[in-house]
Structure 1
Amino acid sequence: MSPQTADPSWPPGTVQIEGFPRNDQETEIILQPAPSHDPNDPLNWPLWRKHLNFGLVCYYVIMVFAILDVATVTWGPLNVELGFSFELLNDSYAAGCGSLCVGGVILIPFALKYGRRPVYVLSIIAQIGFSVWFAKTQTVADLMLTSILSNAVGALAEVLVQMTIADVYFVHQRGLMNSIYVWFMTLGTTLSPLAGGYIVTSQGWRWVWWWMVILTGVGFIAFVFLYEETKFSTPTLQGVPHIVSRAETKQPSKHEGKCSQTEPRTEVGITLKDTEAQKPYITNWIDSSIPKKTFWQKLALWSISPGSFSSMARHSFEPFVLLFTTPAIFFMSLLYGAMTAAVTVPVTTLSSYMTMAPYNFNASQIGLMGLPPCIGTSLAVLISGRLSDSFVLYMAKRNRGIYEPEMRLWVAVAFIPFVPAGLFMFGIGLNNGSPWPLVAVGLGVATFGTIPANSVALTYLTDAYTDVIAGSLVGVTFIRNLISTIFVFALSPWIANVGLAYVYVTFGLILTPHSLTTNHERATTYIRAAAASGAHLAILPEFHLADFHPTHDPSIRNRCTDYKTYLSAYSALAKELNINIVPGTLAELHTDSLTGTQKLLNVAYFISSTGEILHRYEKKNIWIPEREFVDRGDTGRHIAFNTPLGKVGLLICWDLAFPEAFRELVMQGARMVIVPAYWKLSDAGAAGMGRNPESEKVFVDAAVVNRAFENTCAVVFCNVGGARQEGFAGCSQVAVPFLGCVGRVEGPEEGMKIVEVDMGVLDEAEGVYRVREDLAREDWHYGYCR
């Protein structure tokens, strides 16, 4: 069976890269984009030729980013010799980040018009000149101008390389190539300060830049004599076949006309109209009637594309059109920018803070702090590079051979949690003067998480928007460097205002995937699954959107004003799925319009299957540690209310410890009491944990069953889930009289349990115990508490 042609209705970048097995042979990889029959097409180059060109590009990348980042280890000597303050040096770095935003906008149109080779060569010459200027720095103007101009030209390393990868490599190879690119970029960023530190201590800070001149000069010579132009215009032909790469070799087919075989052998499959007969696959061929370029033709400085200069100039504003009209490009720019800032911001912090007590690092020791991110980068590339390409081939095979660029995003999701974890270790450790290995490991862990995300973002754009890759990447790097610039400029005053630890805690939380929105999306997924299984009621735990303790997230309190957004979303979901929902609890921040005082309330809702809110309950019994930041709710009576499932009562977490709350609800006819909770093993305190590490589980299990028996009602206890090592207790369960627990989520981890409850058991239990009958008696002994 021949491969499918791309459906015009498919999203950008969606192509078939997995063929169908024939004659019990291995599945074939369909090469995308399809190469032409021209021997000069870079897609037809042998691998050694592709890798040579890409190797030169990688050397270019490492040198450009070395020039951009090695300056930080010279800050100490610059402060002493020339009197430049650390605030000024930090601002020069931020100014350089700002010029990275605009460099690509100005220079990339020249690469589209005149080719990649002249832009590479001329930018290397420029960087050599700037390095000489750096070495002769004397004034603030020298410092600022060299930083701004070198970064403006250096912006090419962030866009031009992706254009080269798109020119030379196929879709199923780009993940690895982009990982290698990100690796070399990070090597330049992290190892240059390491080498530069030793140069500063042994030869002086100016020799850092003379070594940049020497090493970049070597790259210039290699580019002039070895780098080939990769810009190639493929003629548009009707009926151009798909190219299929096979793992097995076979005898070549005979063809009319002159042709030569390429290695490895490939095959062509032609998708015919329904009225045409299916022809067999034929072997790909290179048209030898097309002359190959000579050595000097390959090294021509210019490769001019047709079109006027004005048409070339439009590429300067095209990135912004793409950025703000294509959501996927804008999202990738935010992801790429956030991940890059997670690496660049700590670098500037190191240079300012680790030169002081208790560390008192010299330039070479500051440089050594580049090793942890280098190690993190290398490990990430080794794991994620091949994984990205192999994973998309696997996913495409499951998707009938169809590849979608979004398939790569799953690889990034697996690594992102390492970023906030590393930033927490780095920032809090540095603030507390912790041993330097802790700070170093934090930096390495954060970098380990950023590399796959950066690689996936670049590969996704290259695959999905190949035709406008230059414009889209210029837009992405503009946002990326704008984010870094903002962070670096704001860093000093930010730290001065709130302290180093809070800066990195906040930064880490910005990058934490478990945000309010993400948790809401996960909750929605569970509710949809429950509705699909026939459930009539879905219950979430207390604080299911986030842990609102201010020491865990200083900024989260202000986000509690947005509770109506989530409440409306749950109401709409209940109506859509025809299911009743108790959305755990929502933290609500209310401000008194007269006094301006604020109250943070912990509130549970019951939403009917029609989307109507039937009841609102404000938590009355506040757990002791919560009292410093959560206010007590309405002090009136507990209220039972009618629902499609019968009369129900709502309580929250610590209310479980008070039988009086259940009595009050049952006396009003409640047959079911629902208790969302955030109850952990550590709530027992040191004394309880010392006696029995699982004492809270004993408490909860006993209380839930007891409340069901002593009130002849069903008790639904829904507790927060999480990792056992973090102290989560689990215990989510449903209990009824006679039977006790009739269903529970096993273990503390997050999950879902559908429980079928026979409410008839309540009437049977009441017939035996007559609890409700006694509660209604005029001479009930405890009637005074009604």
Structure 2
Amino acid sequence: MADLNQVIIGTPSSKHHGVGLWPPPSSDPADPLRWPRWVKFLALIAVANFNFVANFAGAGLSVATVMLEMELQKTPQQINSLLTFNFLLLGLGNLVWIPLSVKYGKRPVMLISTALLFAVLVWTAKAETFAELLAARILSGFASASGESIVPGVVSDIFFLHERGTAMSIYVVLISAGSAVGPLVAGFMVEYSPGAWRDFVWLCAALAGFDLLAIFFLYPESSFSRSHPAVLSPTSESELPPDDAKAIELGPSASNVEDAQDPQVRENEDFVVKFSYRQVVTSFFHVNKSLSLSKAFSMPFVFLPSLIVLWVVFLYGSALASLVILMLAFPSLLIPPPYLFPASSVGLMQIPAIIGFTFATVSGGYVCDLITARMIKRNRGVFVPELRLVSMVPGSFIGPIGCIVVAITCDGKLHWASIAVGYGMVAFNAVYAPNVAVTYLIDCYPAFASEVVVIVNIVKNTIAFVFLYTAVDWVQSKGWIQVYMIMFMIVSLSMVLTIPLYFWGNRTRQLFVRKSPREVKAARL
């Protein structure tokens, strides 16, 4: 059977790492693939920064738990719920935001959710009781959910296939960096600012307001209906015309490539259109008339049985859990003897995570794109999503080794610098592995990028919620060795499963499409 995602990339071009453009840009000036590169990256940064602000606000209060216990007269478990339920709604909120974005457009949903986050953060800063603060934290998690699944859809809308690794690394690192930078900044504000944690929340509200303006002025609606003429449909090889069957085995000829290009674009190699900011401020809705709202709400669940989706959920959830357990348990480890860290020093322990995120962004983004581009050229210009998985190899050992380092150093209460090394390695894996996995997932289901990422975010956030809710008690009752050796085994298993997926990922997609609704089959995945 032909590969459902096997596509003819195009004639080699040094301008694009020796790989032609896919999807081929159309002759329509409204095609977001034809936006200038600077417009694409400003739009991406504007919408991806929403995830940074959301996680900055969500994780920052982790260093203020002791202060909140005294101020609100609540137990550590009750204060912990301010963090865990915020995180849970960060996943479940996608069930509302993504169907609305698929039906009415990504831009209006991003503007509404960012405005809601700004308003809720103002409410959080003014909250006087525990119940009021908990309600505000839950609602802020709901408001924050939209960006986690919409941004991968934006990447699929505006970037070519060989650019998606770099673009997705920006998305993933901003999500993760918010969780690290938030506690770092909050640590100093809690210790030195007169308003303590409330001043930190006011800062978060200001950042949300700034990002609302950035999205309004920098992100035009990117939803666009396009056809994919070079995608091989799910049919048996015997049913294909002889020329198509030959393309499957040997790769594209020059005529194959030209047929995949829009004639008007092929005549003019400079496909980039002139851009006016009038296009940004005047674009608000992109109503999908071919899709009912009820169908939009049900479509994400269609992808739940996909083995590829389940693997991405498992990998992302395990990488995230290994990070958030340590992040949440840091105060109970570092504030008592022998470390006696003040809140500001606990916050400074996020610097190793930021360093890990930085290295993962470069190696998991641009370098992975180079690896994928080289694999495409070796495959005679024919791309299959499994080629993306080769990029997992260089960083696959760092996360598991980091779990071992954390287990030994935290259990033995070794020097804080050794703990920082393990934390940095775990943080590296929390960006590198999910970036490759989610980019691979988008390559597998490009027409449903937001829908498949919804399922990933809901399930992995629920998994992480369970770990978060039990993290401190689990570590205190069972010890660091047991907790992080279990995480070592889980993270290692998620990496090892990449191997069978590389060889049999195509077959799993074929099986999934056979049993999928007609909307999925019609999309010619």
Give the TM-score band, short-chain normalised.
0.7 to 0.9
Deviation at 1:294, TM superposition (A): 6.3
The one-letter amino acid of 1:72's match is S
Deviation at 1:99, TM superposition (A): 1.5
Say which of 407, 413, 416 aligns to 1:433.
413
Partner of 2:180: 190
Cα pair 1:405 1:464 within 8 Å, conserved: yes
- Distance change in 2, residues 1:13/1:71 (3 Å): farther
Alignment of 1:19 with 2:26, yes or no, is no
Distance 1:439 1:227 in 2: 40
Cα pair 1:392 1:403 within 8 Å, conserved: no
Distance 2:138 2:310 in 1: 25
Deviation at 1:520, TM superposition (A): 12
Partner of 2:369: 389
Distance 1:121 1:62 in 2: 16
Alignment of 1:283 with 2:268, yes or no, is yes
Alignment of 1:231 with 2:219, yes or no, is no
Q: Which has the larger radius of gyration?
A: 1
The one-letter amino acid of 1:99's match is L
Alignment of 1:503 with 2:483, yes or no, is yes
Q: How does 1:112-127 map to 2 (within 5 A)?
A: 112-127=102-117
Deviation at 1:287, TM superposition (A): 11
Alignment of 1:150 with 2:140, yes or no, is yes
Partner of 2:285: 303
Deviation at 1:314, TM superposition (A): 2.3
- Deviations along 1:422-453, one digit per CA (max 9) or x if unpaired, are 12222332222211111111100111223221
- Deviations along 1:232-257, one digit per CA (max 9) or x if unpaired, are 223x59899xxxxxxxxxxxxxxxxx
Distance 2:81 2:230 in 1: 56
Partner of 2:200: 208
Identity %: 29
Gaps of 5+ in 2: 232-254, 261-265, 501-525
- Deviations along 1:588-622, one digit per CA (max 9) or x if unpaired, are xxxxxxxxxxxxxxxxxxxxxxxxxxxxxxxxxxx
Partner of 1:331: 311
Deviation at 1:109, TM superposition (A): 1.0
Partner of 2:163: 173
- Distance change in 2, residues 1:61/1:385 (3 Å): same
Distance 1:102 1:60 in 2: 17
Partner of 1:35: 25
Say which of 112, 126, 137 aligns to 2:127.
137
Say which of 74, 81, 84 aligns to 1:84.
74
Partner of 1:271: 259
Partner of 1:702: none
- Distance change in 2, residues 1:12/1:66 (3 Å): farther
Partner of 2:89: 99
Alignment of 1:368 with 2:356, yes or no, is no
Q: How does 1:457-476 map to 2 (within 5 A)?
A: 457-476=437-456
Q: How does 1:443-592 map to 2 (within 5 A)?
A: 443-513=423-493
- Distance change in 2, residues 1:134/1:352 (3 Å): farther
- Distance change in 2, residues 1:140/1:35 (3 Å): same
Partner of 2:322: 342
- Deviations along 1:370-415, one digit per CA (max 9) or x if unpaired, are 1101001101222232221111111111111111111121222332
- Distance change in 2, residues 1:183/1:520 (3 Å): closer
Partner of 2:235: none
- Distance change in 2, residues 1:427/1:141 (3 Å): farther
Cα pair 1:76 1:363 within 8 Å, conserved: no
Say which of 303, 310, 320 aligns to 1:322.
303
Deviation at 1:493, TM superposition (A): 3.8
Cα pair 1:418 1:449 within 8 Å, conserved: yes
Deviation at 1:110, TM superposition (A): 1.1
Distance 1:340 1:295 in 2: 38
SS of residue matched to 1:228: coil
SS of residue matched to 2:303: helix
Distance 1:491 1:513 in 2: 21
Farther-moved stretch of structure 1 (435-444 vs 409-418):
409-418
Cα pair 2:220 2:283 within 8 Å, conserved: no
Bigger relative CO (Cα 8 Å, ≥ 6 apart): 2
- Deviations along 1:263-319, one digit per CA (max 9) or x if unpaired, are xxxx995239xxxxxxxx74347699xxx886445323631324388x223232322
SS of residue matched to 2:345: helix
Cα pair 2:216 2:280 within 8 Å, conserved: no
Cα pair 2:189 2:197 within 8 Å, conserved: yes
Deviation at 1:323, TM superposition (A): 1.3
Q: How does 1:562-711 map to 2 (within 5 A)?
A: none
Distance 1:349 1:232 in 2: 44
- Distance change in 2, residues 1:454/1:25 (3 Å): closer
The one-letter amino acid of 1:305's match is V
- Distance change in 2, residues 1:282/1:503 (3 Å): same
Distance 1:331 1:514 in 2: 7
Distance 2:5 2:15 in 1: 27
Distance 2:171 2:28 in 1: 28
- Distance change in 2, residues 1:510/1:225 (3 Å): closer
Distance 2:355 2:475 in 1: 28
- Distance change in 2, residues 1:287/1:228 (3 Å): closer
Cα pair 1:268 1:284 within 8 Å, conserved: no
Alignment of 1:312 with 2:293, yes or no, is yes
Higher helix share: 2
The one-letter amino acid of 1:163's match is G
Distance 1:17 1:285 in 2: 18
SS of residue matched to 1:120: helix
Deviation at 1:496, TM superposition (A): 4.2
- Distance change in 2, residues 1:26/1:108 (3 Å): closer
Partner of 1:738: none
* TM-score scaled by length of structure 1: 0.56
Say which of 94, 98, 103 aligns to 1:108.
98
- Distance change in 2, residues 1:10/1:222 (3 Å): same
Cα pair 2:8 2:257 within 8 Å, conserved: no
The one-letter amino acid of 1:314's match is K
Distance 1:306 1:386 in 2: 33
The one-letter amino acid of 1:207's match is D
Deviation at 1:139, TM superposition (A): 2.3
- Distance change in 2, residues 1:287/1:137 (3 Å): closer
Distance 2:174 2:303 in 1: 28
Deviation at 1:13, TM superposition (A): 3.1
The one-letter amino acid of 1:410's match is V
Count residues in correspondence. 472
Q: How does 1:724-735 map to 2 (within 5 A)?
A: none
Alignment of 1:73 with 2:73, yes or no, is no
Distance 2:15 2:455 in 1: 44
SS of residue matched to 1:317: helix
Gaps of 5+ in 1: 1-8, 241-266, 273-280, 522-786
- Distance change in 2, residues 1:120/1:30 (3 Å): same
* TM-score scaled by length of structure 2: 0.83
Distance 1:129 1:411 in 2: 41
- Deviations along 1:6-51, one digit per CA (max 9) or x if unpaired, are xxx5434322225368xx9998522111111111211001111112
Deviation at 1:492, TM superposition (A): 3.6
Distance 1:342 1:151 in 2: 21
- Indicate the RMSD between aligned Cα atoms, in angstroms: 3.1
